[in-house]
């Protein structure tokens, strides 16, 4: 599934799975179709609609959100937490309780799926990492079902499954760009505070703690899946036993049999209830939607030099220059914090000009404990005459000064669209701080506008121990539905794995006057392809001249993975030099649009021009060929330094 930014058309391609007998059509597997659509949801929501490149880091859980949507939206009456739920079982000709295309089926039974946060340290990227995340939100979903029941109405229902899905969707909107597991967990906790007053905090904490993402878990860098530390504890506000993992049972949950049993799916036995879901006493530490004056100070240091567009609280007027540059709509209420709220006779009359404008919040006392999070909505808009000297910046000032957010301008047209930021303030715990928000037009007479709204600081699990509220009442037992026909037992398929195969047929020169070169890669022992990525390291002047085709000579399938990046957007394509890229269907940004100012000009993980899923279901064994064509041979030369394919097998 290829996902551009909001407004562009995504592309889904499904193929025939040839590993089972008979062949299976991926279009007919509900789980796979939902999974692929799920990539569009997670990529579009993370980081806001203006970007599709926020799920390229190593610890991101894009595959996990997609698997989660698949198993949640295909739930049936009679389902229970411990039963086995696989993704892709139809495509692999497995029974409905088969393992599917992952290493384990999804279940709350640790003896079947023992994965915890530490599992991702050695898991395949992205599928192994992502599917570990699914185990965690699947635990959360069943915890919420055990409290609120199950509702078959996905659109208007009030069950725990509805609640869980909404929290996951809203968490995607709240989490930062390039999130890790702790970031994603905190975003879900924040969504529960925003939506439900924190009524489900302890249920959510218990689910994550069971899988090693408890209160003391540390993420490390979201770019490194191996540097986190798992923990199984709960915050003080959810006082109770440590949620250590076990291979024999699920953690204690309130008695609930709201989903009728079936012959093959035995309901959970009655367990000891969880601690009462009393929300932490603090919740919002600070909130300002700018509908009233809470005491912000413009130019607090006395050194601002912007001649127009100073920060002010007010009702903004819409401006437009090749698209909206200042929005007349706020996130909530009538007012926001904006750089010159008036429109004037043209878009540039009241924008920021000739320097920097800043504004300081009132002092904010942060609690000494708990998980403290700053979130806000914002936009930075500019015309093509902007540069990286222009910026929107948010700093937290306490015993030290920390820049928690910064967006720079660029020499392109960037319209105003509300986006969201969320980040941790735990390093300032126990301090009295203030926020310093700055924006600048520092590149000359460029058109730059900025705004901020709904500034919020929350704490989860901080403060004194709360007074317990009434215990959650178990949902009454429903009348059992008709018995399902048992599925005949089948052999459990082998777990999936990912292996990288590197071509030894390099380096190969592509001199002037040569149109096409080919490099071979012979693979054996690979098995059936469940997912395939390709990495290319190519030195070449003006990469906009190049196209690349990956060909499986055994099956005859060929995929154009690169086709003159920048053409036709630029007549001659990207003028930058060199490529060091991994092409993956699951990546957010398209390789076609890449043309960075540095070298290599295409550097990172991107989606190919055509989907590599064309190879899914085929055997990975045999001879593979990478064909590279130079469409302008008279001027430029280059060398293919290396290439490889990563094959993940079901």
List active site positions: 36
Tokens for 583? Answer: 């092409």
Rounded to an integer, what distance in angstroms lies between the CA atom of residue 208 and that of residue 141? Answer: 11
Residues 650, 623: Cα–Cα separation, whole Å: 21
What DSSP line would sit under 284-332, residue for residue? EEEEE-SSS----EESTTS----SB--EEEE----EESSSEEE-S--SS
In three-state secondary structure terms, 168 is helix
**CA distance linking residue 389 with residue 354, whole number of Å:** 11
Cα distance between residue 267 and residue 270, in whole Å: 9
Q: What is the largest CA-CA distance in the chain?
A: 80
Sign of CA dihedral 62, 605, 125, 93: positive
- With the CA atoms of 397, 398, 402 and 406 taken in that order, what torsion angle do they form, in degrees rounded to the nearest 10? -30
Q: Are 336 and 455 in contact (CB under 8 A)?
A: no
Phi, psi of 596 (to 5 degrees): -75, 160
User: What is the token pair recorded at 343?
Assistant: 């429109």
Residue 428 Cα distances to 424, 425, 635, angstroms: 9, 6, 57
* Cα separations in angstroms, 460 against 76, 184, 283, 463, 491: 34, 14, 7, 9, 45
| DSSP H or E stretch at residue 645 | strand 638-649
DSSP-based helix, strand, coil % in the chain, nearest 5: 20, 25, 55
- What gap in Å lies between CA 259 and CA 477, rounded to an integer? 8
Q: What is the chain's length?
A: 650
Both structure tokens of 616? 């899914």
Number of helices (H), then strands (E), belonging to the chain: the values are: 6, 26
- DSSP string for residues in 527-589: -B-SEEEEEEEEEESSGGGEEEEEEETTT--EEEEEE-TTTTTSTT------EEEEE-TT-SS
Residue 504, token pair as written in the block? 């030894």
In the three-class reduction of DSSP (H, G, I as helix; E, B as strand; rest coil), residue 427 is classed as: helix
Between CA 421 and CA 375 the distance in angstroms is: 5
Q: Secondary structure of 373-426 in the HEC alphabet?
A: EEEEEEEEEECCCCCCCCEEEEEEECCCEEEEEEEECCCCCECCCCEEEEEECH
In terms of phi and psi (left: phi > 0; alpha: psi -120 to 50; beta: otherwise), the region of 371 is: beta
The closest of 282, 302, 291 to 235, measured between CA atoms, is 282
């Amino acid at each position: 599934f290829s996902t551009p930014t909001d407004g562009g058309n995504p592309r889904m391609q499904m193929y025939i799975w040839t590993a089972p007998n008979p062949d299976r059509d991926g279009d007919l597997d509900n789980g796979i179709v939902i999974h692929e659509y799920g990539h569009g949801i997670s990529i579009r929501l993370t980081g806001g609609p203006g970007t599709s490149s926020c799920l390229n880091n190593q610890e991101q859980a894009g595959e996990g959100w997609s698997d989660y949507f698949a198993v949640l939206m295909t739930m049936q009456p009679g389902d229970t937490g411990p039963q086995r739920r696989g993704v892709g079982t139809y495509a692999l000709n497995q029974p409905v309780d088969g393992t599917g295309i992952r290493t384990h089926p999804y279940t709350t039974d640790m003896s079947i799926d023992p994965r915890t946060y530490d599992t991702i340290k050695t898991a395949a990227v992205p599928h192994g990492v992502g599917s570990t995340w699914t185990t965690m939100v699947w635990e959360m979903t069943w915890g919420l079902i055990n409290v609120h029941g199950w509702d078959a109405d996905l659109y208007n229902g009030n069950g725990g499954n509805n609640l869980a899905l909404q929290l996951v969707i809203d968490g995607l909107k709240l989490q930062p760009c390039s999130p890790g597991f702790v970031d994603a967990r905190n975003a879900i906790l924040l969504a529960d505070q925003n939506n439900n007053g924190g009524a489900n905090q302890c249920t959510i904490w218990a689910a994550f703690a069971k899988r090693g993402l408890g209160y003391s878990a540390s993420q490390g860098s979201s770019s490194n899946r191996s540097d986190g530390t798992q923990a199984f504890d709960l915050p003080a506000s959810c006082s109770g036993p440590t949620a250590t993992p076990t291979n024999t049972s699920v953690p204690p949950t309130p008695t609930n049999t709201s989903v009728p049993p079936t012959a093959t799916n035995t309901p959970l036995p009655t367990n000891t209830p969880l601690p009462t879901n009393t929300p932490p006493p603090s919740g919002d530490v600070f909130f300002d939607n700018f509908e009233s004056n809470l005491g912000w100070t413009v130019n607090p240091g006395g050194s601002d030099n912007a001649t127009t567009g100073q920060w002010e609280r007010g009702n903004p007027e819409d401006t437009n220059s090749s698209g909206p540059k200042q929005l007349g709509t706020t996130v909530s209420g009538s007012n926001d914090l904006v750089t010159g709220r008036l429109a004037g006779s043209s878009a540039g009359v009241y924008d920021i000009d000739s320097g920097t404008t800043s504004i300081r919040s009132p002092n904010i006392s942060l609690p000494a404990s708990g998980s403290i999070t700053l979130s806000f909505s914002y936009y930075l808009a500019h015309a093509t005459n902007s540069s990286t000297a222009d910026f929107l910046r948010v700093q937290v000032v306490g015993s030290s000064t920390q820049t928690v957010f910064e967006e720079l301008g660029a020499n392109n047209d960037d319209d105003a669209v509300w986006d969201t930021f969320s980040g941790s303030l735990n390093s300032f715990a126990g301090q009295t701080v203030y926020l310093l928000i700055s924006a600048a037009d520092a590149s000359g007479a460029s058109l730059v506008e900025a705004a901020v709204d709904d500034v919020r600081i929350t704490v989860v699990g901080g403060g004194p121990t709360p007074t317990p509220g009434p215990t959650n009442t178990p949902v009454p037992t429903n009348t059992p539905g008709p018995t399902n026909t048992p599925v005949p037992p089948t052999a459990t398929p082998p777990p999936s794995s990912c292996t990288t195969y590197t071509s030894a047929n390099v380096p190969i020169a592509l001199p002037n006057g040569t149109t096409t070169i080919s490099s071979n890669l012979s693979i054996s022992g690979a098995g059936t392809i469940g997912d395939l990525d390709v990495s290319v390291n190519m030195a070449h002047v003006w990469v906009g001249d190049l196209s690349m085709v990956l060909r499986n000579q055994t099956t005859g399938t060929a995929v154009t993975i690169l086709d003159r990046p920048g053409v036709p957007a630029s007549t001659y394509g990207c003028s930058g030099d060199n490529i060091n890229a991994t092409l993956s269907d699951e990546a957010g940004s398209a390789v076609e649009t890449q043309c960075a100012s540095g070298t290599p000009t295409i550097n990172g993980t991107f989606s190919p021009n055509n989907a590599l899923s064309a190879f899914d279901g085929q055997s990975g064994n045999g001879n593979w060929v990478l064909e590279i064509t130079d469409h302008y041979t008279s001027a430029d030369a280059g060398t293919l330094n290396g290439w490889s394919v990563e094959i993940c097998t079901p």
